[in-house]
Structure 1
Amino acid sequence: MLFVLDGSPDWSSSHPLARFYRNPKVHDFFRSLPLWSWSRLYFNAELVKTTDLDPSVNHLMCYHPHGIISMGLQTSLGMDACSFKSAFPGINRHVATLVASFKIPLFREWILLHGFVSCSSPTMKKVLSTPKASLVLVPGGANEALYSHPGTFKVHIKRRKGFCRVALQAGAALVPVVGFGENELYHTLDNGGGGMGGGLYKAQVWAMKRMSFSFPIMTHLLPRREKIVVVVGEPIGGPYDQKGRERKIIENPTQEEIDQLHKRYVEGLEKLWNDHKDEYGKGIKFENA
């Protein structure tokens, strides 16, 4: 009960164990384990930097697409296998993941040691309100995972604006990130169109709404050995919009303010894709659902 109730996933406790899980030195040690380098070698993963990130600014780095298990995110952003610390010195980041992930004994401890936190809005605001702390998030979530078919790049952010609200409330900048090759790792059963595919998708969505995660049906267990290239784009909003990088916090943003930031973010994400699709995109078309 002590391990379950210590408040570590949502940063809600000052208990010594919770403070241990929040220690950046602990995260650095586990993120640099050899097994993550093996993952990088397996996928020939690469991290591409397009601009510098100010370490004094809080960033909400949004990764697309979700894929089946977001291997590109784990290898390049969550861990140090692709030299994230060297590329973005001073950026103290945490990966936000499902609350359900912290209900599994031992696995819970494993991801906490790597700096993972709950993706609930209060936790995200708490982390992004901490000086020099940034977050990595997959806004498309479980629904996007259902469309992780090879030859596709379908993101689900057209109606997802909660991450923009959190960024405004915390005074954080949004950073679009594209994982080229993420959807190529697994072949999944087609759940599109009518007939059996449409019925399968409805069943998957029904289960997802009740359990907060989805069940993409894969045709093979191990991921294919495809190259993953993770491209980090330019920051949008937050202190980057202010003179002298002043932090502007909007505790109760209007729908218009949220919509404006969301529009700018989607445009930035599409630009990032278009700028690099010829080199890494394999002729795949960008889709926003």
Structure 2
Amino acid sequence: MIFVYFDKAPEHGGRSNHWFRSCLFWRYFADYYPASMKKEQDLPADRPYIFGYHPHGVISMGALATFATESTGFSAAFPGIKPHLLTLASNFRMPFYRDIILMMGVCSVSRNSCSNILKQGKGSSICIVVGGAAESLAAHPGTADLTLRKRLGFIKLAIQHGADLVPVFSFGENDIFEQMPNQRGTMTYKLQKRFQAMFGFTLPLFHGRGMLNYNLGLMPYRRRIVSVIGRPVNVVQCDKPTLEQIHEVQKRYIDELFRIWETYKDAFAANRKKELNIID
């Protein structure tokens, strides 16, 4: 337990283990949905990258498959780029569990951690599930409601480190769990937001399937997840970017995200109930 508090690996690039990330177990994990990755173009390993993952979903299974394992072939598709999926620092306070996710290349999402990884130079990369806890409450099948407009921190970070921004849209991420109706204004939503304010994370009221039934349980439904890795948004390095510079990069990022949606929605979201929408 003492080691947990003194070990700084989650803030300094983790302890990624390629053998562990490539274990056959992860292939079975991805095949369950199935989860796959679609690459749009090569990414040269001569610069750092920030991958922005959307939507959060309830648990971000597509992000786990694509950026924390080799089950979808990330390293083969992008040679020379070392991915680090980021998560809350609280996840590294649990012995054994923390060691597993550290071997998967997972690190803390703190600003200090992000900077330490990006400073490692060429080919270093982080994946941020941008919508975070707030977006998980909007994870309902057939929808794509994003929390993005006010999320400027990762844009500023990219400019400061000269890291290209790569939007990733994961079709099907919101479909693998059903969530209790919690529209804004309802008592359920208010209680969930109060819980988030108190503890820093949300408590989605969700269900999936069971081992022997398809109607109720905590296992995710077997529904396809396709993570489309879009075209990079090129960034010019600046130590102290202005708000105008940040908004200009954000606009290009959002435009690319919508391009991904419009290009693939009929192929990968044919049964959608709503179009892509930025709600915050």
TM-score by length of 2: 0.91
Counterpart of 1:199 in structure 2: which amino acid?
Answer: M
Does 2:273 correspond to 1:282?
A: no
Give 1:81's aligned residue: 71
- The CA deviation at 1:90 is 1.1
Q: Is the 8 A contact 1:68 1:148 kept in 2?
A: yes
Give 1:191's aligned residue: 182
Q: How does 1:112-261 map to 2 (within 5 A)?
A: 112-131=102-121, 132-194=123-185, 198-219=186-207, 220-238=217-235, 248-261=236-249
Deviations 1:136-184 (A, max 9, x none): 1101000111111111111100111111011111110100001100110
1: distance between equivalents of 2:264 and 2:183? 27
Aligned length: 266
- Which of 36, 52, 56 in structure 1 is aligned with 2:42? 52
Deviations 1:243-285 (A, max 9, x none): xxxxx43121111111111111111111111111111112531
2: distance between equivalents of 1:58 and 1:210? 35
2: distance between equivalents of 1:209 and 1:59? 31
Give 2:254's aligned residue: 266
- The CA deviation at 1:120 is 0.8
Does 2:93 correspond to 1:93?
A: no
2: distance between equivalents of 1:232 and 1:7? 30
2: distance between equivalents of 1:142 and 1:282? 26
Name the CA shift for 1:267/1:283 in 2 (closer, same or farther; >3 Å). farther
| 3-state SS, counterpart of residue 277 of structure 2 | strand
| 3-state SS, counterpart of residue 145 of structure 2 | strand
Does 2:107 correspond to 1:110?
A: no
| 3-state SS, counterpart of residue 168 of structure 2 | strand
2: distance between equivalents of 1:93 and 1:63? 13
2: distance between equivalents of 1:214 and 1:282? 29
Q: Is the 8 A contact 2:67 2:84 kept in 1?
A: no
- The CA deviation at 1:205 is 1.1
Q: Is the 8 A contact 2:142 2:269 kept in 1?
A: no
1: distance between equivalents of 2:35 and 2:270? 16
- The CA deviation at 1:210 is 2.4
2: distance between equivalents of 1:47 and 1:137? 17
Gaps of 5+ in 2: 208-216
Counterpart of 1:3 in structure 2: which amino acid?
Answer: V
Counterpart of 2:191 in structure 1: which amino acid?
Answer: A
Gaps of 5+ in 1: 12-17, 239-247
Give 1:36's aligned residue: 26
2: distance between equivalents of 1:193 and 1:264? 29
Deviations 1:69-125 (A, max 9, x none): 111111122210011111111111111111111112211111111111110112112
Does 2:3 correspond to 1:6?
A: no
1: distance between equivalents of 2:128 and 2:11? 15
Give RMSD over aligned pairs: 1.4
Deviations 1:40-84 (A, max 9, x none): 110122210101101111110111111111111111222100111
Q: Is the 8 A contact 1:125 1:169 kept in 2?
A: no
